[in-house]
């Protein structure tokens, strides 16, 4: 058991605070020396080159599925392969997309653009102008981080608009109001930003004027998470919505009226799954809410109200129940075509989709005839048309795209990824583990059907921000891990979104330990079933999942034979000091408050490293360009582990790619190969 600690007193020195300086010479010298050791250790392994090549081949294979969205007769796709390292933004006709070999038109070649401008631009998306969608506000990151530069671009001429809208790299947001007006969610100057570093002020920017002269129309508070804006079309009706995000899970929504008034939409602060369809405003709630008409809205349900009536009268009418809550069924997403609404659901971590219509003032709904017992998602829904596509996969079934041109009535599988590994000897199973407080925690196991005894096993988890972990096909994992006779386990711990808001809230703030206990319970259950031994069981997690594996290392080192901690949060007593850490206080708590410090200090991994603990081998990874989770967390944890005598600690920091490792696939393939080599070497002896 670890000993509880208190928040360090003012003036208490953190010996590795200097590693929080992202780009200082001292910090980067330390990073380069650590990278040299890790690269020598893992890339020096005889199996590395073949593993790297396999990973790169699969990540850049020409027969990977080109996932795209249809707009005005074209399917748009972003594509990377060995020739196009930074990628192509391209399009093809819908008819061509459905063929085995579509004929693609390149809109932007980012490798050519990088060569011309000397910057490795990473595509971050584009906002297209209604109704012909040929003009767009193109966002590009100079280093793969979240901050992006915006430039106006003409898709027809495939060129940037000279003298058009252009904004420097920032975390700002841009959307069209009309062809001569852009709605800017501004985060340029410090006065524009919230404490979390996100947009605070919404402005209207007129063509031909300077960005700094844009007219403010809305402001959030400095302590809020962010302000956001966007245009929503409902048929021919155009609505401008503004939002003041109080934190990750609560917000106030406003309708910007032609008069200039910003009218608050009086939904509860924790409303979720909002969408506008056929004059109906749809919404869900994270906690029970009694509507003005007396309707009690419950989490995991979906409700609707007459939005046109509210605009006219300022009051809600009757609330209708579109989808009633059901046990272990949660809403995964909502999308709409011009005439139909699609609701993606998770039923005990298995997917399905319901299609809804609104006729004569009433709702009707029916299931979409999609494959069962896998992960089903809505790939795209054409807002101004009738095309919709769905994805289907599970751990052993390659991904496929199922397309419909008639609102889900007629379905056709138009894309199927080839098998990347031999799944015939494998089986996918779902089990449950009993957590410390008695809650049953589902988890999946993928292993050989004829497994006779413990094998090297990788346990993956996340458990935060209401994000679910769902079954999915991964060719690299199949080739570099499962084909070697190893097993893979995926845990659906509390804190995630597998079973809706209540599952998330059960590990929120002061209840965070529940999620850590869930993960430990799954690990113990895997060992009890004989799938692995503690020494042959490795764990991996990134971002919030990196916090999970960091806590697992310091609380239960005896349960694991190897630990991978990716782009993590680890110093939970200083996380709000490292931008944009303040944005996560609704998830973790506020370390400036004594009552919150009590639970944060009880588990914060950085403060719980012990010299006398028997830690298994550890690999920590991060990115210099990560502007979402600061690299200082991983750096300091690695330094502290090494200083306290834990020599089997390796650290690797990529110099570009941001939090999600975007950009060139070669560094991603190299890091992936290193991680599997690290696991194989550490766990094989314990099987």
Q: Are 548 and 463 in contact (CB under 8 A)?
A: yes
DSSP string covering 474-521: -HHHHHHTGGGT-EEEEE--BTBSTT-HHHHHTTSGGGHHHHHHHHHH
Q: What share of the chain is helix, strand, coil (3-state, %, to 5)?
A: 25, 35, 40
Among 74, 608, 633, 659, the one annotated catalytic: 659
Q: Are 174 and 187 in contact (CB under 8 A)?
A: no
Q: What tokens appear for 588 in the block? A: 């973790």
Whether residue 543 lies in the annotated active site: yes
List the one residue out of 385, 372, 377, 382 whose CA is nearest residue 402: 377
Angle at the Cα of 658 from the Cα atoms of 548 and 666, rounded to 5 degrees: 100
Q: Is 384 exposed, middle or buried (0-12, 13-18, 19+ CB in 10 A)?
A: middle
Cis upstream peptide for 95 (omega within 30°): no
Q: Cα(678)–Cα(37) distance, rounded to whole angstroms?
A: 13
Q: What tokens appear for 544 in the block? A: 């919030």
Whether residue 134 lies in the annotated active site: no
List the one residue out of 97, 160, 148, 154 whose CA is nearest residue 123: 148
List the one residue out of 613, 603, 611, 633 whose CA is nearest residue 621: 633
Cis upstream peptide for 662 (omega within 30°): no
Q: Is 407 exposed, middle or buried (0-12, 13-18, 19+ CB in 10 A)?
A: buried
CA-derived radius of gyration, the chain: 25
Give the C-alpha distances (Å, rounded to integers) separating 476 from 61, 82, 473: 12, 16, 9
Among 51, 275, 543, 583, the one annotated catalytic: 543
DSSP string covering 320-335: EEEE--BTTEEEEEEE
Q: Residue 550: helix, strand or coil by DSSP?
A: helix
- Burial string for 274-308 (b: 16+ CB within 10 Å, else e) reads bbbbbbbbbbbbbeebebeeebebebbbbbbbbbe
Catalytic residues: 543, 659
């Amino acid at each position: 058991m670890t000993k509880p600690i208190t928040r360090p007193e003012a003036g208490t020195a953190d010996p590795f605070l200097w590693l929080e300086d992202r780009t200082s010479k001292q910090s980067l010298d330390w990073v380069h020396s650590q990278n040299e050791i890790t690269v020598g250790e893992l890339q020096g392994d005889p199996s590395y080159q073949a593993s790297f090549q396999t990973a790169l081949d699969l990540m850049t294979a020409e027969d990977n599925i080109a996932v795209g969205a249809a707009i005005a007769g074209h399917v748009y796709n972003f594509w990377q392969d060995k020739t196009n390292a930074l990628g192509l933004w391209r399009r093809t006709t819908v008819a061509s997309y459905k063929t085995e070999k579509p004929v693609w038109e390149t809109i932007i070649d980012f490798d050519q653009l990088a060569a011309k401008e000397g910057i490795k631009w990473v595509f971050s998306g584009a906002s297209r102008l209604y109704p012909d969608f040929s003009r767009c506000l193109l966002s590009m990151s100079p280093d793969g981080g979240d901050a992006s530069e915006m430039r106006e671009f003409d898709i027809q001429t495939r060129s940037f608009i000279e003298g058009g809208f252009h904004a420097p790299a920032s975390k700002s947001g841009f959307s069209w109001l009309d062809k001569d007006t852009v709605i800017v969610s501004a985060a340029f100057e410090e006065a524009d930003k919230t404490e979390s570093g996100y947009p605070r002020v919404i402005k209207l920017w007129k063509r031909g004027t300077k960005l700094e002269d844009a007219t403010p129309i809305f402001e959030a508070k400095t302590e809020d998470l962010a302000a956001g804006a966007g245009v929503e079309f409902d048929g021919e009706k155009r609505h401008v919505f503004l939002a003041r995000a109080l934190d990750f899970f609560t917000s106030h929504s406003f309708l910007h009226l032609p008069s200039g008034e910003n009218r608050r939409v009086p939904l509860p602060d924790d409303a979720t799954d909002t969408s506008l369809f056929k004059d109906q405003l749809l919404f869900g709630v994270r906690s029970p809410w009694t509507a003005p008409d007396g309707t009690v809205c419950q989490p995991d349900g979906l409700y609707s109200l007459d939005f046109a009536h509210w605009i006219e009268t300022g009051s809600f009418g009757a609330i209708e129940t579109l989808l009633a809550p059901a046990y272990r069924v949660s809403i995964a997403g909502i999308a709409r075509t011009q005439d139909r609404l699609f609701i993606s659901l998770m039923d005990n971590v298995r997917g399905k989709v319901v299609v809804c219509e609104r006729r004569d003032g009433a709702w009707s709904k029916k299931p979409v005839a999609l494959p069962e017992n896998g992960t089903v998602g809505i790939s795209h829904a054409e807002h101004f048309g009738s095309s919709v596509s769905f994805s289907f996969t599970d751990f052993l079934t390659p991904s496929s795209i199922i397309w419909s041109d008639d609102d889900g009535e007629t379905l056709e599988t138009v894309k199927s990824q080839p098998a990347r590994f031999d799944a015939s000897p494998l089986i996918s199973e779902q089990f449950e583990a009993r957590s410390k407080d008695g809650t049953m925690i589902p988890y999946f196991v993928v292993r050989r059907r004829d497994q006779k005894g413990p094998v090297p096993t990788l346990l993956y988890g996340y458990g935060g921000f209401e994000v679910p972990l769902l079954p999915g096909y991964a060719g690299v994992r199949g080739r570099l891990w499962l084909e070697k006779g190893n097993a893979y386990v995926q845990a659906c711990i509390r804190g995630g979104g597998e079973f809706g808001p209540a599952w998330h809230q059960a590990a929120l703030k002061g209840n965070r330990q529940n999620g850590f206990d869930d993960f430990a319970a799954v690990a113990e259950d895997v060992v009890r079933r004989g799938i692995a031994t503690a020494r042959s069981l490795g764990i991996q997690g990134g971002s919030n999942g990196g916090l999970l594996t960091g806590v697992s290392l310091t609380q239960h080192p005896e349960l694991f034979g190897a630990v991978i901690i990716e782009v993590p949060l680890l110093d939970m007593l200083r996380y709000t000091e490292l931008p944009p850490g303040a944005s996560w206080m609704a998830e973790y708590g506020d370390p400036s408050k004594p009552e919150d410090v009590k639970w944060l200090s009880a588990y914060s991994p950085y403060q719980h490293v012990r010299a006398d603990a028997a830690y298994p081998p550890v690999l920590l990874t991060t990115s210099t360009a990560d502007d979402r989770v600061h690299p200082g967390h991983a750096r300091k944890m690695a330094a502290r582990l090494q200083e306290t005598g834990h020599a089997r600690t390796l650290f690797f920091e990529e110099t570009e790619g941001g939090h999600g490792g975007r950009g060139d696939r070669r560094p991603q393939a190299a890091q992936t190969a290193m991680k599997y080599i690290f696991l194989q070497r550490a766990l094989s002896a314990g099987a």
